[in-house]
Amino acid sequence: MQSIDQQLQERRLAARTGGGQARIDKHHARGKLTARERLEALLDEDSFKESDMFVEHRCVDFGMQDQKIPGDGVITGWGTINGRLVFVFSQDFTVFGGSLSEAHAEKICKVMDQAMKAGAPLIGLNDSGGARIQEGVASLGGYADVFQRNVLASGVIPQISMIMGPCAGGAVYSPAMTDFIFMIRDSSYMFVTGPEVVKTVTHEEVTHEELGGADTHAMTSGVCDIAFENELEALQQLRDFYDFLPLSNREKPPTRPTNDSMHRRENSLDTLVPDNPNQPYDMKELILKIVDDSHFFEIQPDYARNIIIGMARMNGSTVGIVANQPLVLAGCLDIKSSIKAARFVRFCDAFNIPIVTLVDVPGFLPGTAQEYGGIIKHGAKLLFAYAECTVPKITVITRKAYGGAYDVMASKHLRGDVNLAWPNAEIAVMGPKGAVEIIFRNDIGDPEKIARRTEEYREKFANPFIAASRGYIDDVIKPSGTRQHICKSLAMLASKELENPWRKHDNLPL
Partner 1 sequence: MFSKILIANRGEIACRAMRTANRMGIATVAVYSEADRTALHTVSADEAVLIGPAASADSYLRIDKIIAACKETGADAVYPGYGFLSENSEFAAKLAAENIVFIGPGQHAIESMGDKITSKKLAIDAGVSTVPGHADIIRDTDHAVEISSQIGYPVMLKASAGGGGKGMRVAYDEAQCREGFERASNEARSSFGDDRVFIEKFIEQPRHIEIQVLADKHGNTLYLNERECSIQRRHQKVIEEAPSPFLNDATRKAMGEQACALAKAVDYHSAGTVEFIVDKNSNFYFLEMNTRLQVEHPVTEMITGLDLVEQMIHVAAGNELSIRQSDIGINGWSMEARVYAENPFREFLPSTGRLIRYSEPTDIENVRIDSGIREGGEVSIYYDPMISKLITWGSDRNTAITTMQNALDRYLIDGVTTNIPFLAALFDHTDFRAGDFSTNFIEHHYPAGFERLDPDAEGTLAMDAVAVTARLLTEQRDRQISGTLYPQQALTALDMCVIDQTRNTRYHIVTDDNSNFTLTSDTASTVINTHWTPGQPVIEATVDGNKTIYQLVPTPLGFQLSNGRFQKSLTLLAPHVAALHQHMPERKVVDTSKLLLSPMPGLLVSVLVAEGDTVRAGDSLAVVEAMKMENVLKAEQDGVVAKIYESAGATLDVDQKILDFE
Least distance CB 285 / partner 1 (angstroms): 6
Question: What 3-state class would DSSP assign to 28?
Answer: helix
Q: DSSP characters for 58-94?
A: ---STTGGG---TTTTEEEEEEEETTEEEEEEEE-TT
Which residues are tagged catalytic? Answer: 169-170, 404-405
Question: What 3-state class would DSSP assign to 5?
Answer: helix
Q: Which stretch binds partner 1 (CB under 8 A): 129-137, 171-179, 273-281, 454-462?
A: 273-281
Write the DSSP symbol of residue 157. Answer: S
CA distance 454 to 292: 41
In sequence order, which residues have a C-beta less than 8 Å from that of residue 420 and are 6 or more positions away?
Answer: 394, 395, 396, 397, 473, 474, 475, 476, 477, 482, 485
Least distance CB 434 / partner 1 (angstroms): 9
162, 167, 190, 332: residue in contact with partner 1 (rule CB under 8 A): 332
> Are 281 and 271 in contact, with CB atoms under 8 Å apart?
no
Write the DSSP symbol of residue 116. Answer: H
Q: Examine residue 362 and tell whether it contacts partner 1 (CB under 8 A).
A: yes
2, 278, 368, 507: residue in contact with partner 1 (rule CB under 8 A): 278
Q: Examine residue 37 and tell whether it contacts partner 1 (CB under 8 A).
A: yes
Q: Examine residue 32 and tell whether it contacts partner 1 (CB under 8 A).
A: yes
CA distance 351 to 358: 20
Dihedral, 231, 163, 21, 62 alpha carbons, nearest 10: -170
Residues 416-455 contacting partner 1, CB under 8 A:
431
Residue 118 or 376 having the CB closest to partner 1: 118
Q: Which stretch binds partner 1 (CB under 8 A): 25-33, 155-163, 342-350, 449-457?
A: 25-33
Q: Which stretch binds partner 1 (CB under 8 A): 123-131, 136-144, 224-232, 407-415?
A: 224-232
167, 269, 342, 436: residue in contact with partner 1 (rule CB under 8 A): 269
Q: DSSP characters for 366-410?
A: PSHHHHHTTHHHHHHHHHHHHHH--S-EEEEEEEEEEHHHHHHTT
155, 170, 194, 280: residue in contact with partner 1 (rule CB under 8 A): 280
> Are 190 and 168 in contact, with CB atoms under 8 Å apart?
yes
Residue 235 or 380 having the CB closest to partner 1: 235
Least distance CB 84 / partner 1 (angstroms): 5
Residues 51-70 contacting partner 1, CB under 8 A:
none
Question: What 3-state class would DSSP assign to 332?
Answer: coil
Maximum Cα interatomic distance, the chain, rounded to a whole number of Å: 104
Task: By CB under 8 A, name the binding residues for partner 1.
Answer: 28, 31-33, 37, 40-41, 45, 80, 82-85, 185-187, 228-233, 236-237, 243, 246-247, 251, 254-260, 267-272, 275, 278-281, 285, 292-295, 326, 328-332, 362, 365, 431
